């Protein structure tokens, strides 16, 4: 398993070793010990989620406010997405910057999106099944977002505008400069 820090060091790309033969393939999709050794702390994942979306869907940018912030470990079971993490930690050296990584069932890459980051993805294949681990339970009261098309963030979702499909909620998120943000001193883990 190869772990690589992105331009925003807290966001990590994980590439499993793929063992293939004429029967198919095998991967270790999660190794707590290797992730802990790399990060220097343990993420207490408590829930696995899965979504299916068709081409053109954009989900995001979402995050939860303290005390319900979430770390996500995202992977694609079928299809291809562009996965995006935006640093929303006030005072962070990378505040307002984002990382975009293509995740697919072919490349088997995963993206670790820590607490203090907004998360979203666009579907680049006919359909995509996305699975992700979280370290906190969903809280509707603490769930907020940022406009996917915020001019300041300038995210290229790799989709034509006329093919973008969003929920009413995602179409009505506030711009980045009006969003509720997270303190840079947010404790990740003890």
Q: Which of 63, 98, 119, 132 is catalytic?
A: 132
pLDDT at 167 over 90: yes
- The three-class DSSP label of residue 54 is strand
Alpha-carbon distance of 28 to 176, in angstroms, equals 37
> Known catalytic residue: 62?
yes
Q: Which of 19, 62, 119, 189 is catalytic?
A: 62
- pLDDT grade, residue 189 (50/70/90)? low
* Mean pLDDT, rounded, for 61-79: 96
> Known catalytic residue: 119?
no
Please give the full DSSP string across 111-138, using - where no structure is assigned.
EEE-TTEEEEEEE-SSEEEEEEEESS--
Read off the pLDDT of residues 34-65 as tens digits, 9 standing for 90 and up: 999 999 999 999 999 999 999 999 999 999 99
Read off the pLDDT of residues 128-139 as tens digits, 9 standing for 90 and up: 999 999 999 999
Of 52, 65, 42, nearest to 135 (Cα)?
Answer: 42
Identify the pLDDT of residue 190.
52
Identify the pLDDT of residue 188.
61
* Mean pLDDT, rounded, for 170-180: 96
């Amino acid at each position: 398993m190869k772990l690589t820090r992105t331009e925003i060091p807290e966001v990590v790309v994980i590439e499993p070793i793929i063992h293939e033969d004429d029967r198919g393939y095998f991967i270790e999709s999660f190794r707590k010990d290797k992730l802990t050794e790399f990060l220097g702390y343990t993420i207490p994942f408590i829930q696995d989620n899965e979504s299916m979306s068709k081409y053109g869907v954009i989900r995001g940018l979402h995050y939860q406010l303290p005390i319900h912030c979430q770390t996500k470990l995202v992977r694609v079971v079928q299809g291809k997405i562009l996965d995006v993490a935006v640093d929303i930690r006030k005072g962070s050296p990378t505040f307002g910057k984002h990382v975009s990584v293509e995740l697919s069932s072919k490349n088997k890459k995963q993206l670790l999106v820590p607490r203090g980051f907004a998360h979203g993805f666009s579907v680049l294949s006919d359909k995509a099944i996305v699975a992700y681990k979280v370290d906190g339970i969903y809280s509707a009261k603490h769930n907020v977002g940022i406009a996917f098309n915020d001019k300041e963030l300038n995210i290229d979702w790799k989709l034509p505008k006329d093919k973008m499909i969003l929920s009413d909620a995602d179409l009505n998120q506030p711009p980045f400069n009006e969003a509720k943000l997270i303190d840079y001193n947010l404790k990740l883990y003890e």
